[in-house]
Structure 1
Amino acid sequence: MLELIRQVPLFAQLNDAQLEAVTAISTKRSFKAGTVLFSEKEIGSVFYMVLSGSVKIYTTGSTGEEKILSICKAGESFGELSLIDGKPRSASAQTLEDCMLLAITGQSFLDLLRTHFDISLGIMQELSHRLRDTNQQVYDLTFLDARTRVIKSLITMANKHGLRNGSIITIKLVLNFDEISQLASVQKTTLMQVIRDLEEKKILTLSPSDFKLDLAKLRS
């Protein structure tokens, strides 16, 4: 398991002794697609790291509608916030596909932070990064129109999770159109209008399993 943990960026800079400390308190667990790992407002007890697959982090409105906040893929972590501040979960987490995760229980996680500054620093950097992302989302909702938000969300997904070949970025389509519209904070009808327009201009190519984004045509 040592080599698996070494692949997580949060722990990539640790020496073997530090990695052994993480290994000693980690449990490798597999989950089927569609598994709810934890729900908003429940007490947090586990910190997760993604080894394979993907997990959506989302909130649910009073009428049941979802808002996807982020997608975590291999190497990314989630669930630490409520362990640090002791407050209920601020969002829910659900697997989008079959996943292999590393799990660390709450008290073990806090003990790890107390004894290893490098890990504490990595967590602080990750939380700072998420705060910057939240600030950017607020800006986008305030100042960008719906079409621009859709295009920006597609580019973000491609840059974060896609494979690039020249000007073409290919990304496995783990989200459905409802989920992509949630991520972009637009109505599904608006999303489909923008997608049809991008397809007509050969900027976007959709297939049942992935989509391809042509950056050269997008820039022009």
Structure 2
Amino acid sequence: MQNLDNIELLASLSAEERNAIAAKCSWRTFRSGELILERSKDSHDVFFVVSGNVSIVNYGISGREVTYATLGEGQYFGELSAVDGGARSAGVMASSRCLLAALGREHFRELLMANPAIMMSVLERLARIIRINDDRILDLSTLGAVQRVCQELMRMAEPDPVTANSWLIYPMPTQSVIASRVSTTRETVARVLGQLTHEGMVLKKGKTLYLNDKSRIEDFVNTLAVTSGQTPRPER
């Protein structure tokens, strides 16, 4: 049965309420690598990721792909166009085989108006996106490629629930995905990860990258800034 029980945004609703929303959705399966949404298109549905993964992408003038984020099962996308009625601000590609449920703009807006907690969750998510993009714009304007890779690793890292004062990234994105996020090459990402690993600042096990000493990585970024004549970045 097609349902939205694993969608985080809808967790506060009852099973009956989620089923009612599911009945208003159109459902579609996408293959890995298939285009889901194209930038600038005039569509306004919100998509719930019922299974699989998708990547939010854009392309520069040269054609280089820039990945903004990867979303997995239980997450959603497309809310910006649903809120303001504008064209899509980015493209979306299937990173794996995925099942999506698309909810029309009017139904989504009704959901927000009827559920203030869900509306606040959407607003908080939009605020986070703005803050992250502000940071990335600043990084592109002030940091070299090696520093940008380090900043992205620290941005993705979350506290290790097992080891105190340790941070981790799970699942660790591919080097190509990280490169596209910070506008550099996969080779640069590989070189940075190799250096950080050699100096004991990170350790990769399976799909997890452990940041053993986040403060040392921050010092490393600032040291590069000093040696290149940049102003050291303050802690965020």
TM-score, with length taken from structure 2: 0.75
Distance 2:16 2:109 in 1: 18
Name the SS for the 1:67 alignment partner.
strand
One-letter identity of the residue aligned with 1:88: A
Q: How far did 1:29 drift? A: 3.3
Write out per-residue CA displacement over residues 90-116 of structure 1, whole angstroms, 9 at most, x where no aligned residue.
Answer: 100011122232221333323433444
Q: Distance in 2 between matches of 1:218 and 1:97?
A: 31
Which structure is higher in strand share? 1
Whole-Å separation in 1 of the counterparts to 2:147 and 2:132? 17
8 Å CA contact 1:47–1:77 kept in 2: the answer is: yes
Structure 1 residue 36 displacement after superposition? 1.0
CA-to-aligned-CA distance 1:36-89 (integer Å, 9 cap, x gap): 101111112421122332211111122211111112122221112112222211
Partner of 2:221: none
> Is the Cα–Cα contact under 8 Å of residues 49 and 75 in structure 1 kept in the other structure?
yes
- Alpha-carbon deviations, 1:174-201, whole Å to 9, x = none? 53x3321111233444323212212323
Choose 1 or 2 for highest CA Rg.
Answer: 2
Partner in structure 2 of residue 148 of structure 1? 147
Kindly report which structure 2 residues correspond to 1:169-208, keeping only aligned pairs within 5 A, or say none: 169=168, 171-175=170-174, 177-205=175-203
How big is the shift at 1:144? 4.0
How far does residue 26 in structure 1 lie from its aligned partner after superposition? 2.7
Alpha carbon RMSD of aligned pairs, Å? 3.0
Q: What letter is aligned with 1:178?
A: S
**Aligned pairs for 1:1-220 within 5 A:** 5-159=4-158, 166=163, 167=166, 169=168, 171-175=170-174, 177-205=175-203, 210-213=207-210, 215-219=211-215
The verdict on how the C-alpha distance between 1:24 and 1:64 changes in structure 2, with shifts beyond 3 A counting, is: same
2: CA distance between counterparts of 1:145 and 1:76? Answer: 32
The amino acid across from 1:184 in the alignment is: V
Q: What are structure 2's unaligned runs of at least 5 residues? A: 217-236
Q: State the distance in 2 between where 1:85 and 1:34 align.
A: 28
TM-score, normalised by the number of residues in structure 1: 0.79
Kept after mapping to 1: 8 A contact 2:48/2:77:
yes
- Secondary structure, aligned partner of 1:75: coil
State the one-letter code of the partner of 1:197: Q
Amino acid at match of 1:179: V
Q: Is the Cα–Cα contact under 8 Å of residues 81 and 87 in structure 2 kept in the other structure?
A: yes
C-alpha distance in 1, partners of 2:171/2:43? 30
CA distance in 2, matches of 1:196, 1:98: 31
Change (3 A) 1:206 1:153: same
**Gapped regions of structure 1 (runs ≥ 5):** none
Indicate the SS of the match to 2:22: helix
Give aligned-pair identity as a percent: 25
1: distance between equivalents of 2:16 and 2:96?
33
